[in-house]
Every structure is written in C-alpha cells, then in structure tokens.
C-alpha cells in the first residue's frame, strides 16, 4: 500500500490491509517491491525517553570537554543542558514526582568540582589563553547562580556520592559496552520501561495497544528465523538502489564487530578483577612497550669476575642500539653491581660497573641540548661520589683513558681500569649548568637546584684529589679550571677582613686558593685556552675583592686585549665579564677615568646584555634562525652569575659625567671638541632637545639632570640627583660598603663641580678668594688650592695664585684672528704628521715595536674593540693635546708678561 494511504482513518481500509498482510506474508518476505518497503522503519518513543536521551548526550559531551579542559565548549554545552532540562521539567514533574534525576545532580556536582579545581590552580590559570580565561569566569558565575536551586539535592548527593540509582547503573553499563548516543538516551528510563526495548526488536510500525490486535503481534514474533533475518535486511536499506548495490564494507564491519567484542570482553574482565580485588593495591602501568626483565645468571652458575665482566659487556653492547630500553639497562647495571658486592669480586670490578652506570645515565637523555631528569641527576651524583670514594680509598686502582681494554686487570694488584673520571665530572658540571638554565630564575626550583652546587663542587674536589695523587699536568690543569670556574665569581668577606688585619694573616681565603690554582696553570699548561680562561678568572676575582693594582697589572702583562678576538665565544664572554667587573672595581677605588675606559666598549654598542651572555635582544636587521638562537641560548650564563646591567650603566654614565662636563666647560667654544663618551653625549643632547623636561624618573634621567646641575656649578643639586633614596635602592646599595662609595661620589662631585665652575665663569672674575670657594663647595682650603694649582700647571686655567691674600688672579686674553688661524693650521699639520708616521710604521712592519707600547695605545684608543680597558696604557693623545695647548697659549704668556710690566710701571709712577 502506498504511503499516501498509510495514515488513513478508515477502519475498513485498515482491516483489509491487515488481511492482505496476513495472507501474503510469506510472499512479501521473499520478494517485495511495494512502496512500504522503501519506507524507513520508525521507532516510537515516549517523551520521557526523548528528553532523557537529550540530557544524557549533553552530559556526555560536557564530560569530554572537561577531560581536555575545553572551557568555552563546556560553557556552551552547559547552556544547552539548562535549556534541555527546562524542556524536560514537565516530564520530570509527571513521571518522577518532581524529584530531580540523580544523574543530573551528579553532573552538576562534577561540573562544580571541576570549576573549583581549575579556579584554585592559580599558576594554571595564568597560563590559560584569553578565551579560556574569559569563559572560565563566565562559566563559574553561571554555575554558582544555577545550582542555588539544587542545594538540597547537591548536599544529599555529596553525603553519599557512590549511591547510584538503577538508571545510572544502566547508563554506566551501556557506556562501558561501547553503546552509541542512542544507548545513552535510556539513562533516565526505569528498568521496567527499558527492558522491553532491550529484549524486543523494533517493529515496522507501532504495535496497537488494543487487545484485539495482540494476536497479530504474537504471529509476528512467532515467525521463523529466516523471516526475521529477511526483515532485518529489509530494514537496513533506505531505497531500492541501495538494496541491490554490492556491499564493499562487509569485512570492515566484521572487523568492527570483532573489536567491539574484544572491548566488551576486556571491560568484563576488568570489572570482574575489580570486584575480586576490591581491597587490593594499585598496579603500576609502565608507558610504552613492556619488556620483561631478563634473567641475570642461572641458578647454578658460579659467580666470578670473568662471568660478571662478560655480563657487563653483554649489557653495554646494547648501548646506542635501536629499541634499547635504557631504563632497563640502568636497572640491570645496578643489579649487577649488587651481585658483585655480594660475592666480593673486588673493588676494581665495582669501579668498572660504577663507571658504566654513569655512562648509561648520560646516554638516557639522547638530546644533549636538553637537561636530564631530576631523578637521574640525583642518581648520577650519588654514583659519581661513590665511585670516586672507592678510587681514593684504594690507591692500587689505576683508572685512566690510556688503559686499553685488553690490558685491564681486575684480579691481581695493581688493578687497571679503562675510564676517564675527568670527562665524567666535566659532563656532570655541564649538566648542572643546563639544569640551572632550564629553571625559572625567580622560582624556588632554581634555589633548590642551586643547592646541588655543594655536591658538584664536592665531586670536583674528589676528582682533584685523585689526579693530584696520580695524574698528568694536563689533567690537573683541566680539573683546576673547573674548580676555578665555580670560585672566581664568589665574594669572600674574609679577604677584606684580612686586609684590615681583622683576621690572622694565616687564614686561607679564596684569593689564596685562586692564586695557587692559577699559578699552577700558568706554569704547567700547554694549551692557550685554559691559561687564558684562568687569567681572566683570576683578574675577575681580584677585581671582585678590590685588588685594583693586581688586577690591572695582570691585564697589562697578559696582553689579552691584543688577541682576544681570535678566542672562542665562551672565552670572549668571560673577557667581557672581566672588563665589566674591572670597571666596577676601578670606580670603587676612585679611578673614575679607568672605570670609564673599561666600560666604554661594552656600553657604546648598546648590547651589554648579549656581550655578557645574560639574555638575547631582538635584532632589527634580520631575525635569528632557530639553530642560531639555540646555540646562543646554550652560551647564556646562569642567573646567579649575572652582573647587574643597571649598575653597570649607572657607573658608566656617572663616570662619563665626571669626565665630560668639565671638558665641555673648558672647550665650550672649540668647534673641534671631541666626545669622551658618545652614549652620555647623546643622552645629554636628547634631553636638551626636549621642549618640556619634567622631574627625573629613570636612572638615566637622574644622571642627565645631575649633569645639567654640575654644568652650572651647583654641586648640591648634582649630589641630590645622584645620591638619593631611589638611586640608593636600585644601584648604590648593591656595592659592598655602599656608604664609602656614596662618600666617594659626593667628594668627586664637589671637586668636578669646582673645576666646571672655574672653567665656566673664569672670564667673569678678575680674582676669586680661595676660602670663599672652599666654603661654597664644602672642601678644605688645601684641597681647593691643590685643584687650582693643577689646573694652572696643566694650562687649563689662565690664572696665578696670590698666596698672601689667598686669591686666584685671572689672566684671560682672547687670541686674535691671525693667532686663531695659526693655531688651526698647527693642529692640521700635527694630525697629518701623525697619519704619515702610522703609514710609515705599517709599511716597515714595526707597528707594535716602536716605543714603549705607544702605538698600541693609539690603536687601542681609536679601536676600542681591540683594546678594552687598555686606554690608560697609551698617553700619546694627551701629550699631543698638551703640546697644542702650549703652542696655542705661548702668545698668551707673552701678553701676560707685557701686562705685568705695565702694572709695575703704573705702580712706580704712582
């Protein structure tokens, strides 16, 4: 019958249709072409089933989103859940007498717990994306507001959360059996309602509820098996074309059925095991392919040295091969060591096994750029120290890399073992540095990792003792350098106490230890790299403890600035660190000019952070490749070894200010005035170009404001800008004995402000009283007298001292036009002669031999990169300046003599 008449209301047509179906049933089952067979078989479900199916499917979706912490989708699914529950309320009030289903309460409780867990994890919340973080707040607010209507149900559920309803048991059973979303729809149906659905297959049409038609339904159920199968085949096709198409997925469907059956069997086994072992312990599941641990030895095997060595060789032969279980390899080596100790096979065998354990631990991490796991790190330290203690306790064991494997001896003394403890401890030190770089320097993890340095240094000490007893000079130099690298950057207060005689002179300080180690390397090392790094570390340590003259002499004698560009990157980084610390030492020792010379090459580039290996800066011209960035990150220094960059910049700018401002005042009208510090000059000029200058905020602005105050001779304002609460906290308090540094700064500011005042206002005065200057700048009269005398001697100030009256008589005369042109001509000729001399020296090949390092000084001054910190060596440029000043002011001296003669004649006439 056609679909058009399927829904007809005529009772006669319905009865006739039933008669036709009853008589022609066998024919229809065999060969049917009617339109009824093209029709999809429909299942009639109650409203309750539909509503509960919708709820359970949304709950399942919410659980999936929670597993992956997909908070935005969890929010949208929760909103769908509330709307679906609102639609199901009439059914719940009718069927459940208004009692909320337990599976719905369970979902709300789980959702609330999930939100609280994510919200309390503050570190995790910081790492959330912007979308997730926003959705979390919205979800939390909506859930807290929504569950207020279910407080009583939630409290009852939390009192007995494991008491599941029968419907929930059914849901769990269906989910565990691999049911689809349609199975989840039965979660809220009672067993009495769900049983018919599970037992009976869905009929083609809804069975009538009348008693008269019950016989028909019985006839349908009592058909033969073949008829049932044919009806099932008919139901699975949507149209006639699909019925006669060749099936290509039969094998796949069979495979899927087999997989489902296997899953069901596994889940049934798991349930039975859980029921049998309810009170049992948890079973540890190892990730990856589980390999059974091989048997070490046979039960009746005689354990001796050759057997253990053969087993050791067998275990280590798998080293580096594909699919080797490295964790199992380490466990086997530990077991072999225990067996060796139990059977007393000798210390030499134990040392050999220890060394192989260390090698296996190093092999566990295949990526050498990444740090090893913490569990392996702790194990490595323990095994390393245990092996070294065995070596030190047994002097008849010789462990060296030069011992061949066929010449090893484990039975009779002396014992020979092939291995290199020095290479092992060097790798240990490198792994420690990688662990520090991996940690966040501002976290507690970094502090806990840094505590391991005590054990690392102890291990280095044990290796040092072993090689001092039996080792070559080269091996001793290598292990000495490792100890130096853990010592050179650490400050020892005992050194300064020993200088002041506060502790006995026999007290051993870190300076004495460094001196001993470095001198041995200077004498015995045959590689330039180890000696260069030892010298740099020695200079750094001297500068750290204010041994300025020793550090400066080492720099002068080593000539490091001449060939440092040919060194490897790690050595150049250490050189830059040494120059930075040497500049800070010179500043603390009141050598402002030397401090500026040491720091100028680091700061003028604008990249001190990269030069000191304390971080990477973005490049403007081109981006770094991934490989280049990885290499540069490996060169970075650990955080606890960093030099404060703000302190360096502040010391450099203050030193430049104390040198530049008096020089600018002295050569205010000189068109060819040179810049002492380019960086400071740029800061000063950029501040002058600003139309509106507010109060200083940053450290640079404080130094620029102080420079402007010094230029006017106002030392008090200058000192207030440099030495104030903000600058003390950020910069000056970082110095040891910071009060002494602040007093030194204030004294320098007074003296340089006095010199600047005399340069600026000398043309205004005919004479100045020295006591009044001393009172103005709060300096002793002898100190003011000394400063003015030096200025007159150096011909910086055209004046004379009148001692009886304690005044400074000014002599100022401007040169004529002809004299000014003559002075410019002399300067140009002098520069031309200097250039010709340099060209001649380069052609003759004696560029480094003429004079007492004079040309090296010139080259170092003009090429800062090749002479960092060596600017005090060459004073030729200053000498040329003095010669030019003498020639320039020769005429002024003659004019001054004429003026004095005229004054004498005037006095005689009076």
pLDDT band at residue 466 under the 50/70/90 scheme = very high
**pLDDT tens figures, 488-503:** 999 988 888 888 888 8
Cβ–Cβ under 8 Å, residues 180 and 57? no
Which of the residue ranges 243-252, 319-328, 704-713, 859-868 has the most confident prediction, judged by mean pLDDT? 704-713
- The owner of tokens 């004995």 is 737
- The owner of tokens 């060796």 is 340
| Residue 478: per-residue pLDDT | 93
Count of residues in the chain: 910
In this structure, the number of other CB atoms found within 10 A of the CB of residue 478 comes to 21
Higher pLDDT, 341 or 321: 341
Region of 505 (left: φ > 0; alpha: ψ -120 to 50; beta: rest) is alpha
**pLDDT tens figures, 203-233:** 333 333 344 443 443 344 434 444 444 444 4
Higher pLDDT, 252 or 569: 569
Q: Which two tokens stand for residue 747?
A: 């004294």
**pLDDT tens figures, 812-838:** 766 667 877 888 888 889 889 988 988
Percentage of the chain beyond pLDDT 90 is 29
Provide the 3-class DSSP secondary structure of residue 400.
strand
> Burial code of 319-354, b = ≥16 C-beta within 10 A, e = fewer?
eeeeeeebeebbebbeebbebbeeeebbbbbbbbbb
Which of the residue ranges 375-389, 498-512, 612-626 has the most confident prediction, judged by mean pLDDT? 375-389
Q: What is the mean pLDDT of residues 590-595?
A: 92
| Residue 43: per-residue pLDDT | 64
| Residue 247: per-residue pLDDT | 52
**pLDDT tens figures, 406-457:** 888 888 888 999 999 999 999 999 999 999 998 889 989 999 999 999 999 9
**pLDDT tens figures, 502-554:** 888 888 899 999 999 999 999 998 888 999 999 999 999 999 999 999 999 99
**pLDDT tens figures, 84-103:** 888 888 888 777 776 888 88
Angle at 494 between CA 487 and CA 579, to 5 degrees: 50
In this structure, the number of other CB atoms found within 10 A of the CB of residue 791 comes to 21
| Residue 669: per-residue pLDDT | 67
| Residue 324: per-residue pLDDT | 82
Angle between helices 151-159 and 102-120 (to 10 degrees): 90
| Residue 365: per-residue pLDDT | 84
Q: How is residue 409 annotated by DSSP?
A: B
Residue 41 has pLDDT above 90, yes or no: no
Query: What value does the CA radius of gyration of the chain take, rounded to a whole number of Å?
Result: 46
In whole angstroms, what is the distance from residue 315 CA to residue 86 CA?
A: 67
* Strands in 266-406 per DSSP E: 397-400
Give Dmax (Cα) for the chain.
Answer: 165
Higher pLDDT, 36 or 316: 316
Angle at 202 between CA 200 and CA 208, to 5 degrees: 95
Cβ–Cβ under 8 Å, residues 379 and 431? no
| Residue 894: per-residue pLDDT | 55
Q: What is the DSSP string of 100-152?
A: PPHHHHHHHHHHHHHHHHHHH-HHHHHHS-HHHHHHHHHHHHHHHHHGGGGHH
State how far the alpha carbon of 540 is from the alpha carbons of 461, 619, 644, in Å: 22, 30, 15
| Residue 484: per-residue pLDDT | 95
Range with lowest mean pLDDT among 25-39, 64-78, 357-371, 418-432: 25-39
| Residue 604: per-residue pLDDT | 87
State how far the alpha carbon of 772 is from the alpha carbons of 305, 455, 614, 767, 781, in Å: 94, 64, 50, 12, 9
| Residue 283: per-residue pLDDT | 53
| Residue 200: per-residue pLDDT | 35
pLDDT band at residue 486 under the 50/70/90 scheme = very high
Residue 199 has pLDDT above 50, yes or no: no
Which positions ≥6 away from 605 have C-beta within 8 Å? 611
Specify burial of residue 716 (Cβ count, 10 A radius: 0-12, 13-18, 19+).
middle
Cis peptide before 414 (omega within 30 of 0): yes
Q: What is the mean pLDDT of residues 800-813?
A: 85
Q: What is the mean pLDDT of residues 256-277?
A: 59
- Class of 762-812 in CATH: mainly alpha
| Residue 552: per-residue pLDDT | 93
Higher pLDDT, 292 or 442: 442
Which positions ≥6 away from 895 have C-beta within 8 Å? 813
| Residue 229: per-residue pLDDT | 42
Percentage of the chain beyond pLDDT 70 is 72
Residue 842 has pLDDT above 50, yes or no: yes
* Strands in 253-410 per DSSP E: 397-400
Higher pLDDT, 781 or 368: 781
**pLDDT tens figures, 121-164:** 888 887 888 888 888 889 998 998 898 888 888 888 888 876 54
Residue 9 has pLDDT above 60, yes or no: no
Residue 581 has pLDDT above 90, yes or no: yes
In whole angstroms, what is the distance from residue 814 CA to residue 2 CA?
A: 125
Q: What is the mean pLDDT of the chain?
A: 77
Cβ–Cβ under 8 Å, residues 787 and 778? no
Residue 711 has pLDDT above 60, yes or no: yes
| Residue 642: per-residue pLDDT | 93
Which positions ≥6 away from 183 have C-beta within 8 Å? 174, 175, 177
């Amino acid at each position: 019958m056609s679909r058009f008449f399927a829904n007809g209301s005529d009772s006669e047509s319905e009865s006739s249709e039933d008669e036709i179906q009853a008589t022609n049933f066998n024919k229809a089952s065999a060969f049917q072409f009617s339109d009824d067979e093209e029709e999809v078989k429909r299942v009639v479900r109650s409203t309750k089933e539909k509503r509960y199916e919708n709820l359970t499917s949304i709950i399942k979706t919410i659980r999936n989103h929670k597993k992956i912490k997909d908070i935005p989708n969890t929010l949208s699914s929760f909103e769908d859940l509330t709307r679906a529950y609102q639609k199901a309320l009439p059914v719940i009030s009718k069927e459940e007498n208004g009692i909320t289903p337990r599976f719905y309460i369970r979902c709300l409780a789980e959702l609330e717990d999930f939100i609280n867990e994510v919200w309390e994890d503050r570190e995790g919340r910081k790492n959330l994306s912007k979308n997730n973080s926003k959705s979390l707040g919205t979800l939390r607010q909506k859930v807290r507001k929504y569950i207020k209507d279910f407080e009583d149900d939630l409290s009852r559920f939390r009192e007995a959360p494991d008491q599941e309803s029968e419907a929930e048991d059914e849901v769990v059973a269906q989910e565990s059996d691999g049911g689809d979303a349609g199975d989840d729809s039965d979660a809220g149906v009672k067993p009495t309602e769900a049983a018919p659905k599970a037992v009976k297959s869905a009929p083609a049409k809804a069975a009538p509820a009348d008693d008269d038609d019950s016989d028909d339904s019985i006839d349908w159920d009592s058909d033969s098996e073949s008829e049932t199968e044919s009806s099932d085949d008919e139901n699975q096709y949507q149209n006639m074309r699909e019925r006669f198409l060749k099936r290509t997925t039969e094998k796949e469907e069979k495979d899927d059925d087999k997989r489902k059956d296997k899953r069901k069997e596994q889940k049934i086994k798991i349930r039975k095991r859980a029921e049998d072992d309810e009170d049992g312990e948890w079973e540890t599941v190892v990730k990856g392919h589980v390999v059974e641990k091989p048997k070490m030895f046979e039960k009746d095997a005689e354990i001796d040295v050759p057997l253990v060595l053969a087993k050791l060789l067998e275990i280590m032969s798998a080293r580096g091969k594909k699919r080797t279980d490295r964790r199992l390899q380490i466990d086997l080596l530990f077991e072999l060591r225990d067996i060796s100790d139990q059977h007393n096979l000798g210390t030499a065998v134990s040392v050999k096994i220890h060394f192989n354990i260390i090698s296996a631990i190093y092999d566990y991490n295949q990526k050498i750029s990444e740090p090893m796991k913490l569990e392996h790190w702790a194990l490595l330290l323990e095994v390393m120290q245990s092996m070294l203690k065995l070596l030190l306790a047994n002097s008849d064991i010789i462990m060296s890399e030069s011992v061949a494997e066929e010449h090893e001896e484990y039975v009779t003394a002396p014992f020979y073992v092939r291995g290199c403890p020095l290479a092992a401890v060097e790798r240990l030190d490198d792994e420690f540095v990688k662990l520090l770089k991996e940690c966040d320097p501002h976290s507690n993890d970094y502090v806990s990792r840094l505590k391991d340095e005590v054990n690392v240094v102890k291990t280095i000490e044990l290796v040092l003792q072993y090689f001092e007893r039996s080792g070559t000079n080269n091996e001793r130099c290598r292990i000495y350098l490792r100890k130096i690298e853990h010592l050179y950057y650490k400050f020892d207060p005992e050194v300064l106490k020993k200088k002041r005689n506060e502790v006995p002179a026999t007290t051993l300080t870190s300076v004495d230890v460094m001196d001993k180690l470095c001198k041995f390397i200077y004498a015995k090392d045959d590689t330039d790299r180890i000696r260069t790094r030892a010298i740099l570390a020695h200079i750094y340590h001297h500068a750290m403890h204010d041994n300025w003259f020793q550090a400066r002499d080492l720099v002068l004698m080593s000539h490091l600035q001449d060939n440092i560009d040919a060194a490897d990157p790690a050595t150049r980084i250490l050189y830059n660190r040494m120059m930075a610390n040497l500049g800070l030492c010179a500043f603390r020792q009141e050598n402002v000019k030397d401090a500026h010379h040491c720091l100028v090459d680091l700061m003028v580039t604008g990249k001190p952070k990269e030069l000191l290996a304390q971080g990477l800066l973005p490049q403007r011209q081109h981006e770094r490749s991934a490989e280049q960035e990885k290499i540069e990150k490996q060169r970075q220094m650990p955080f606890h070894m960093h030099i404060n960059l703000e302190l360096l910049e502040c010391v450099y700018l203050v030193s430049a200010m104390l040198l530049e401002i008096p020089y600018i005042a002295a050569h205010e009208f000189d068109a060819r005035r040179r810049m002492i510090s380019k960086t400071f000059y740029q800061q000063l000029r950029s501040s002058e170009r600003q139309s509106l200058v507010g109060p200083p905020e940053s450290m640079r602005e404080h130094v620029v404001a102080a420079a402007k105050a010094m230029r006017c001779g106002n030392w008090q304002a200058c000192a207030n800008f440099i030495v104030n609460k903000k600058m003390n906290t950020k910069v000056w308090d970082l110095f040891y004995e910071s009060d002494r540094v602040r007093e030194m700064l204030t004294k320098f500011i007074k003296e340089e402000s006095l010199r600047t005042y005399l340069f600026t206002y000398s043309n205004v005065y005919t004479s100045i009283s020295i006591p009044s200057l001393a009172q103005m700048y709060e300096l002793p009269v002898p100190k003011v007298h000394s400063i003015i005398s030096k200025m007159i001697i150096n011909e910086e100030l055209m004046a004379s001292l009148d001692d009886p009256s304690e005044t400074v008589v000014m002599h100022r005369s401007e040169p004529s036009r002809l004299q000014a042109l003559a002075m410019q001509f002399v300067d140009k000729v002098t520069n031309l002669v200097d250039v010709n001399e340099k060209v001649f020296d380069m052609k003759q090949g004696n560029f480094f031999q003429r004079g007492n390092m004079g040309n090296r000084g010139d080259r170092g001054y003009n090429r800062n990169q090749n002479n960092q910190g060596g600017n005090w060596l060459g004073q030729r440029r200053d000498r040329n300046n003095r010669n030019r000043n003498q020639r320039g002011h020769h005429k002024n001296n003659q004019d001054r003599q004429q003026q004095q003669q005229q004054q004498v004649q005037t006095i005689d006439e009076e």
